[in-house]
Amino acid sequence: MIRLAFSVHKSSFYRIAIASLACSIPLASHAQQPLKTLLVGVDHRTVTSLNGDWHYLVDQPPARGLYTLEGKVRDNGYGLNTHPNISSGPHNEEYDFATAPTMKIPGDWNTQDPTLFRYEGVVWFQRDFDFQPKPGTRTFLHIGAANYKSFVWVNQKRICDHEGGFTPFDCEVTAALKPGSNFVVIAVDSTRHIDDIPGIGIDWFNYGGLHRDVSLVTVPTQFIDDYDVHLRHDTTFSPAAADTLTGYVHVEGAPAGTAVTVRVSEAGVDTTAKTDANGRAAFEVKASHLSLWSPETPKLYKVQLSSGQDSLTDDIGFRDIRVDGTRILLNGKSVFLQGANMHAEAPYRTGRVNNDEDVKNIFGFLKDLNANFVRLCHYPHDERMERMADREGVMIWSEIPIWQRISYDKPEVYAKAVNMLNEMIRRDRNKASVILWSVSNETPNNPTRTKFLTDLANEARRLDATRPITSALIGPHPKGNQMVQDDPLTNALDVIGQNEYIGWYEGRPEDADTMTWTFPQKPVLFSEFGAEAKFGVHGGKNERWAEEQQVNVYEHQFVMINKIPQVRGLIPWVLMDFRSPVRNIPKLQDGFNRKGLISEDGKQKQAFLLFQKTYKDRSVGKAE
Ligand code: GCU
Q: What is the pLDDT of residue 255?
A: 97
Distance 203 CA to ligand 1 centre (A): 7
How many angstroms is it from 541 CA to the middle of ligand 1? Answer: 22
Q: What pLDDT score was predicted for residue 85? A: 73
Q: Are the CB atoms for 475 and 303 separated by under 8 Å? A: no
pLDDT at 431 over 90: yes
Residue 18 pLDDT exceeds 80:
no
Q: Give distance in angstroms: CA of 407 to centre of ligand 1.
A: 19
Q: Give the dihedral sign, CA 83/86/87/93.
A: positive
- Rounded to whole angstroms, how far apart are CA atoms 17 and 27? 14
Candidates 593, 594, 597: which one to mutate for ligand 1, based on the most atoms within 8 Å of Cβ? 593
Is 573 close to ligand 1, i.e. is its CB under 6 Å away? yes
Is residue 499 within 6 Å of ligand 1 at its C-beta?
yes
- Residues whose CB is less than 8 angstroms from the CB of residue 124 and which lie 6 or more positions away in sequence, other chains included: 56, 57, 58, 59, 65, 66, 78, 95, 97, 185, 186, 187, 188
The pLDDT > 90 percentage for the chain reads: 90
442 lines ligand 1 (CB under 6 A): yes
Kindly state if the Cβ of 595 falls inside 6 Å of ligand 1: yes
pLDDT at position 11 over 60: no
Give per-residue pLDDT as tens, 457-495: 999 999 999 999 999 999 887 788 999 999 999 999 999
Q: What separation in Å is there between the alpha carbon of 593 and the centre of ligand 1? A: 9
CA 339 to centroid of ligand 1, rounded, Å: 16
Cis check: omega of the bond before 179, within 30 degrees of 0: no
Percent of the chain past pLDDT 70, that is, above it, reads: 93
With 0-12 / 13-18 / 19 or more C-beta atoms within 10 angstroms meaning exposed / middle / buried, residue 60 is exposed
Q: For residue 547, what is the enclosing H or E element?
A: helix 547-561
CA–CA dist 56, 116 (Å, integer): 12
Cα(145) to ligand 1 centroid in Å equals 23
Ligand 1 centre from 568 Cα, in Å? 21
- One of 3.40.50.9100, 3.90.1150.10, 3.20.20.80, 3.40.50.1100 is the CATH number of 323-617, namely 3.20.20.80
In this prediction, residue 355 carries a pLDDT of 98
Ligand 1 pocket member 443 (CB < 6 A): no
Question: pLDDT at position 479, please?
Answer: 84
The phi, psi pair for 484, rounded to 5°, reads -110, 110
pLDDT digits (tens, 9 = 90+) for 42-80: 999 999 999 999 999 999 999 999 999 999 999 899 999
Whether 428 is in the pocket of ligand 1, judged by its Cβ within 6 Å, is no
| Candidate from 442, 506, 528 with most ligand 1 atoms within 8 A of CB, to mutate | 528
Classify domain 238-318 at the CATH class level.
mainly beta
Calculate how far, in angstroms, residue 516's C-alpha sits from the geometric centre of ligand 1: 22
- Among 65, 143, 53, 141, which Cα is nearest to 423's? 143
Domain ranges of the chain: 12-220, 238-318, 323-617
Which pLDDT value is given to residue 477? 77
The rounded Å distance from CA 59 to ligand 1 centre is: 32
pLDDT of residue 90: 60
Q: Is 593 in the pocket of ligand 1 (CB under 6 A)?
A: yes
Query: Is CATH 2.60.120.10 the classification given to domain 12-220?
Result: no
User: Using omega within 30 degrees of 0 as the cis cutoff, is the peptide bond preceding 572 cis?
Assistant: no
- Predicted confidence (pLDDT) at residue 13 exceeds the cutoff of 60: no
Q: Which atom of ligand 1 is nearest to the CA of 474?
A: 7
Chain segment 297-337, per-residue pLDDT in tens: 999 999 999 999 999 999 999 999 999 999 999 999 999 99
- Residue located nearest, by CA, to atom 3 of ligand 1: 203
Whether this model's pTM surpasses 0.85: yes
Across residues 556-560, what is the average pLDDT? Answer: 98
Average pLDDT score, the chain: 93
pLDDT in tens, 158-216: 999 999 999 999 999 999 999 999 999 999 999 999 999 999 989 999 999 999 999 99
Closest ligand 1 atom, residue 528 Cα: 7
Residue 9: its pLDDT value, please? 38
Atom of ligand 1 nearest to the CA of 202: 9
**pLDDT number for residue 478:** 77
Start-to-end CA span in the chain (Å): 76
Query: Ligand 1 in contact with 379 (CB < 6 A)?
Result: no
Atom number, ligand 1, closest to the C-alpha of residue 505: 12
Which band of pLDDT confidence, cut at 50, 70 and 90, is reported for residue 37? confident
Three-class SS state of 290? coil
Amino acid at 536: G
Residue 555, φ and ψ in degrees, nearest 5: -65, -40
Tally of CA atoms within 13 A in the half-sphere of 271 that contains its CB: 21
Q: How confident is the model at residue 29 (pLDDT cuts 50, 70, 90)?
A: very low
DSSP for residue 411: H
Query: How far is the centre of ligand 1, averaged over its atoms, from the C-alpha of 576 (Å)?
Result: 13
On whether the CB atoms of residues 435 and 330 are closer than 8 A, the answer is: yes
Say how many Å lie between the CA of residue 509 and the centre of ligand 1: 18
For residue range 134-155, what is the model confidence (pLDDT) as tens digits? 999 999 999 999 999 999 999 9
